């Protein structure tokens, strides 16, 4: 796990956008894993800017999103499908028929979860996964106590998540209490993953996820087992890390990061 700390949220998002376009440029038929959330909005803005400047072509890429609320139509403005159309898919040249988001309106939710996991595998697996982190340490919607060996499945959202996310709905009661999410193992199976967290409110959970023990009550801590995981933070989100000097040493001395210093 590489921990990269940038001075502010803008610089952190810029790095994540650059890592994403570098991955697409290295493999145009890349299978992207995509995340939603407020933290990601600025990353998508930057990717769109880079696309408009001719720095990246998405025409051969495909994507799988982490999660979707159960009970929302894809056309519902609060669905993650609508979020992705708005922030990324409608603004770049990705073929929308190759973008995948779990179907929150599926009649048979279990069958939908299996279909989604199978589709990821059939694509050859996710090459490059973007992740945010919830206030309770969730990745995707893998709420506390989700098994580290879970595949795509339906999850009941916990109180902390409801409190944070219901603010994004016109009326808090409209927020679904269930979601379909890639499992922790689905995320661990991705070839490379980049988690972005910014702001002081994420400092405590980031310290637990990155430097704390691995435990199902903070599913992001499972990323310690991921073979190629980069955690990008701003100063505020990195505030509680104990080995900060070491992370900076790696960033400043390894060849992999030379172009970003």
Residue 65 binds ligand GLP, judged by CB under 6 A:
no
- List Cα–Cα distances, 59 to 24, 28, 50, 162, in angstroms: 10, 8, 14, 36
In the block, tokens 């595949």 appear at 151
- Burial environment of residue 246 by CB neighbours within 10 A (0 to 12, 13 to 18, 19 or more): exposed
67 part of the active site: yes
Residue 33 binds ligand GLP, judged by CB under 6 A:
no
Residue 132 binds ligand GLP, judged by CB under 6 A:
yes
Residue 36 binds ligand GLP, judged by CB under 6 A:
yes
- List Cα–Cα distances, 261 to 11, 54, 171, 243, in angstroms: 12, 23, 44, 19
Residue 38 binds ligand GLP, judged by CB under 6 A:
yes
Cβ of residue 69: shortest distance to ligand GLP, in angstroms? 9
93 part of the active site: no
226 part of the active site: no
Cβ of residue 87: shortest distance to ligand GLP, in angstroms? 12
CB distance 198 to 12 below 8 Å: yes
Cβ of residue 97: shortest distance to ligand GLP, in angstroms? 23
**Interface stretch with ligand GLP, choices 22-30, 35-43, 121-129, 169-177 (CB under 6 A):** 35-43
Of 173 and 259, which CB lies nearer to ligand GLP in the complex structure? 173
Strand pairing of 62-65 and 153-156? unpaired
C-alpha to C-alpha distance for 133 and 209, rounded to whole angstroms: 9
90 part of the active site: no
Query: Where would I find the H helices in the chain?
Result: 9-26, 38-52, 80-87, 109-122, 159-165, 184-188, 203-211, 244-253
Residue 39 binds ligand GLP, judged by CB under 6 A:
yes
Closest CA to 185 of 217, 144, 251, 139: 139
Residue 37 binds ligand GLP, judged by CB under 6 A:
yes
Among positions 134-173, residues that touch ligand GLP (CB under 6 A) are 134, 140-141, 161, 165
C-alpha to C-alpha distance for 151 and 186, rounded to whole angstroms: 5
Among positions 5, 24, 32, 67, the unique one binding ligand GLP when judged by CB under 6 A: 67
- List Cα–Cα distances, 98 to 12, 50, 64, 81, 88, in angstroms: 28, 21, 9, 13, 13
Structure tokens at 89: 């898919």
Of 28 and 172, which CB lies nearer to ligand GLP in the complex structure? 172
Of 88 and 251, which CB lies nearer to ligand GLP in the complex structure? 88
**Interface stretch with ligand GLP, choices 36-44, 86-94, 239-247, 253-261 (CB under 6 A):** 36-44
Residue 129 binds ligand GLP, judged by CB under 6 A:
no
> What residues make contact with ligand GLP under the rule CB under 6 A?
35-39, 66-67, 132-134, 140-141, 161, 165
Catalytic site residues?
Answer: 67, 136, 138, 143
């Amino acid at each position: 796990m590489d921990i990269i700390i940038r001075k502010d949220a803008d610089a952190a998002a810029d790095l994540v956008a650059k890592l994403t376009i570098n991955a697409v440029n290295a493999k145009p038929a890349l299978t992207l894993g995509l995340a939603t959330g407020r933290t990601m909005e600025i990353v998508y803005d930057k990717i769109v800017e880079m696309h408009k400047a001719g720095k990246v072509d998405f025409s051969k890429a495909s994507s799988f999103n982490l999660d979707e609320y159960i009970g929302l139509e894809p056309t519902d403005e609060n669905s993650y499908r609508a979020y992705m159309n708005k922030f990324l898919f409608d603004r770049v040249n990705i073929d929308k028929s190759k973008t995948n988001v779990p179907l929150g309106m599926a009649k048979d939710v279990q069958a939908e979860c299996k279909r989604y996991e199978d589709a990821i595998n059939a694509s050859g697996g996710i090459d490059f996964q973007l992740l945010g982190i919830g206030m309770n340490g969730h990745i995707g919607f893998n709420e506390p106590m989700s098994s580290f060996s879970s595949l795509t499945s339906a999850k009941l959202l916990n109180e902390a998540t409801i409190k944070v996310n219901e603010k994004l709905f016109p009326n808090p009661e409209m927020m679904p209490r269930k979601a379909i999410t890639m499992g922790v193992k689905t995320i661990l199976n991705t070839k490379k993953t980049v988690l972005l967290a910014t702001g002081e409110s994420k400092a405590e959970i980031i310290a637990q996820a990155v430097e704390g023990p691995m435990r199902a009550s903070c599913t992001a801590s499972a990323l310690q087992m991921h073979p190629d995981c980069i955690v990008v933070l701003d100063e505020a989100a990195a505030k509680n890390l104990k080995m900060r000097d070491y992370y900076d040493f790696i960033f400043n001395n390894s060849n992999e990061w030379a172009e970003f210093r």
